[in-house]
Structure 1
Amino acid sequence: MEITFLGTSSGVPTRSRNVSSVALRLPQRAEVWLFDCGEGTQHQLLRSDIRSSQIRRIFITHMHGDHIFGLMGLLASCGLAGSAQAIDIYGPTGLDDYIRACSKYSYTYFSNRVKVHPISPGRVYEDEEFIISCRLLKHRVPAYGYRICEKDRPGRFNVEKATALGIPAGPIYGQLKRGETVTLPDGRRIRGSDLCGETEPGRKIAYCTDTIYCDSAVELAEDADVLIHEATFAHEDAQMAFESLHSTSTMAAQVALAAKVKQLIMTHFSPRYTSTNAMDVKDLLAEAKAIFPNTMLAYDFLTYEVPRRRTVEEHQVSTV
């Protein structure tokens, strides 16, 4: 699981930061999932190592332009490039109407390859490897945060031990790998759990933007390996944060601390914070680190690989 930031500015793009979009690359299945799609996202994809032909799912947080204005352009380009890949899009009520209207008046047709799924708090998507859920955050319009949970994976199957027990190779191995109990032709009952190593815990990512500090963000981020959280304003500009229902750097850090996450990555910075102004984004980083030390700043094209979670057994070995 690899996260790439395609846009890290709030509201409007700057010379060094585009507006919101985050890509989650899943190498094991040659898929990319996008979270938000601000204007210019397809240009950012061209400048990155991510192939737009691998985009399979797009999750939209809310209907503000800096999070959706790049969606139609990207979908149209994928169609013109001859990509037959189906794309599922998840987002708030109104997203389907928006896409249909844009399609109608731009004479852009997607046939059946684009499907829009209206979301509500709870489970949004699930397959054999992942569960995606969402919760309402606190913003000026309905805005959702997402939680991406990788399911636990069975431990390594001990082929040598299976061979020593005289278990014939074939479909039985698949059953045992899944932890099932199998009865052999000679009457012996073999438990798959006895032949597999410790279960490998799945990783968790939370994506929270746009919002002011709220309990829903903490719940989405609980025990996450990575929390991606907006930090539009510095702490000294908290009044503007409350008026616009956006977060300060300290609010993002407080969410990370309360949720006991492993890594906080802040994004969605106001263009007011540059090296030529009184405060720079590095000052926002210092504010957040004072509360939650394991914090980093996102920038366009930052790539972060979500580390695999260690099993209890591995943790014990590392502490010996």
Structure 2
Amino acid sequence: MLQAEIKSLLKEDISILIKVPNSGKHYVCDCGEASLLTVKEAQSVSAIFISHTHIDHFANFDGIFRHQIGSGEKVVICGPKNIHQQVEARLKSYTWNLIDENAIEYEIREIVSKEEINVYTLHPPYWNTEFIKTQNFLFEDECVNVDFAILDHKTDSIAYLFKERDTITFHEEASGFRKGKWISELKIAFENNDPDQQIEIEDTIYKASELFHLLTKNEGYKLGVIMDHAVDERNYEKMRTVFTEADKVYIETFYKDLDQEFAKLNYHSFASASGKIMNECKVKEAIPIHFSRRYTESDQQEIETAFYKAFRES
């Protein structure tokens, strides 16, 4: 099960670390101050997901790449339109005369639309962006694949859904056969939806469909992060498309209900609005995050109370 940890204190800008248990894989969503993010965790991050580049979501990018330089690894950065230019500008603002070109590689994936992802690379010491290709998916590795929605925050604000890969359980006690390579062949046929695939077991040929009852598909855990967004039906329709029935979603809840006029003015959400859309998405667990820095702990409690009231109402 994917695990998420908020690495920012109440008065700090938001940053969330996502961990894949038993793998050492870490992903970061947004680069706020994140005083709780350790050097070791930063060095283990293989992908950074930026919702948008307002300063409170991007200011600590420097602190993260400072700990990554010298790893020799490739780190993926995903973000909205022009993210490649903004990353390049940040990296070029420093002097790198002591850094080898193999110290690190950044691959930047610029989200132009749901179907158009532009991929760039850049290396030290000159950090000149090189366009590589355009693709129609954002991110996948051996642990997760990532879907997204492009929300309106008076600029594009990307909301991300991390989905663990589905797994398949083989029910050995129900088979009556000896173990063998036929099990992996059956799983492949199941994954590929190929019921006519021939499977040989103990000198007998079976159709894969005759053996599918020995398998169970386990849906991968779905973890969402929805940052800044306007209270707007077009945003909500995109959320329903991507986040419906997610296992857990962290969602921006910047303002108290009493301050919802500020939310409308600044293209943010407020407590009951965020709770209500999570209810409509039938999310199993929803967590309000990213509160205005003007608020105290008692204000945060007020936000959470209004959020969960709206979230739990049928």
What's the TM-score once normalised by structure 1's chain length? 0.77
* Counterpart residue number, 1:194: 213
Contact kept, 8 Å, 2:154 with 2:267, in 1: the verdict is: yes
* Counterpart residue number, 1:208: 226
Contact kept, 8 Å, 1:62 with 1:91, in 2: the verdict is: yes
* Counterpart residue number, 1:264: 286
SS in 2 for 1:206: strand
> Which one has a larger percent strand, Structure 1 or Structure 2?
2
Q: Deviations over 1:231-265 (max 9, x none)?
A: 11011111000000000001111111111111110
Q: 1:173 aligns with which of 180, 183, 189?
A: 183
Q: What stretches of structure 2 of length at least 5 have no aligned partner? A: 115-136, 191-196
* Counterpart residue number, 1:3: 4
* Counterpart residue number, 1:92: 80
Q: Does 1:68 align with 2:82?
A: no
Contact kept, 8 Å, 1:31 with 1:55, in 2: the verdict is: yes
Contact kept, 8 Å, 2:43 with 2:67, in 1: the verdict is: no
* Counterpart residue number, 1:291: 310
* Counterpart residue number, 2:145: 131
Question: How far has the Cα of 1:190 moved from its partner?
Answer: 5.8
SS in 1 for 2:91: helix
Contact kept, 8 Å, 1:212 with 1:251, in 2: the verdict is: no
Structure 2 vs 1, CA of residues 149 and 168 (structure 1 numbering), >3 Å: closer, same or farther?
A: closer
SS in 1 for 2:168: coil
Q: Deviations over 1:190-227 (max 9, x none)?
A: 6352332x211222122111112232233332111112
- Hey, what's the Cα distance between the residues in 2 that align with 1:120 and 1:168? 48
With 135-144 and 123-132 compared, the bigger mean Cα shift is at 123-132
Q: 1:26 aligns with which of 9, 20, 23?
A: 20
Q: Does 1:280 align with 2:299?
A: yes
| Matched AA of 2:304 | L
- Hey, what's the Cα distance between the residues in 1 that align with 2:140 and 2:300? 36
- Hey, what's the Cα distance between the residues in 1 that align with 2:200 and 2:207? 6
Q: Deviations over 1:110-131 (max 9, x none)?
A: 6452111111343412345532
Q: Does 1:242 align with 2:264?
A: yes
- Hey, what's the Cα distance between the residues in 1 that align with 2:272 and 2:198? 51
| Matched AA of 1:238 | Q
* Counterpart residue number, 1:101: 89
State the number of aligned residues. Answer: 273
- Hey, what's the Cα distance between the residues in 2 that align with 1:271 and 1:161? 57
| Matched AA of 1:100 | E
Question: How far has the Cα of 1:161 moved from its partner?
Answer: 4.8
RMSD: 2.4
* Counterpart residue number, 1:310: none
- Hey, what's the Cα distance between the residues in 2 that align with 1:259 and 1:218? 5
With 184-193 and 234-243 compared, the bigger mean Cα shift is at 184-193
- Hey, what's the Cα distance between the residues in 2 that align with 1:159 and 1:224? 30
Structure 2 vs 1, CA of residues 21 and 168 (structure 1 numbering), >3 Å: closer, same or farther?
A: closer
Contact kept, 8 Å, 1:8 with 1:21, in 2: the verdict is: no
* Counterpart residue number, 1:35: 29
| Matched AA of 1:194 | H
- Hey, what's the Cα distance between the residues in 1 that align with 2:89 and 2:46? 22
Question: How far has the Cα of 1:291 moved from its partner?
Answer: 1.4
Q: Deviations over 1:16-35 (max 9, x none)?
A: xx211111100243200111
- Hey, what's the Cα distance between the residues in 2 that align with 1:266 and 1:159? 43
Contact kept, 8 Å, 1:2 with 1:26, in 2: the verdict is: yes
Structure 2 vs 1, CA of residues 53 and 77 (structure 1 numbering), >3 Å: closer, same or farther?
A: closer
SS in 2 for 1:34: strand
Structure with higher RCO (Cα < 8 A, 6+ apart): 1
Contact kept, 8 Å, 2:20 with 2:143, in 1: the verdict is: no
Question: How far has the Cα of 1:138 moved from its partner?
Answer: 1.7
Contact kept, 8 Å, 1:121 with 1:133, in 2: the verdict is: no
* Counterpart residue number, 2:239: 217
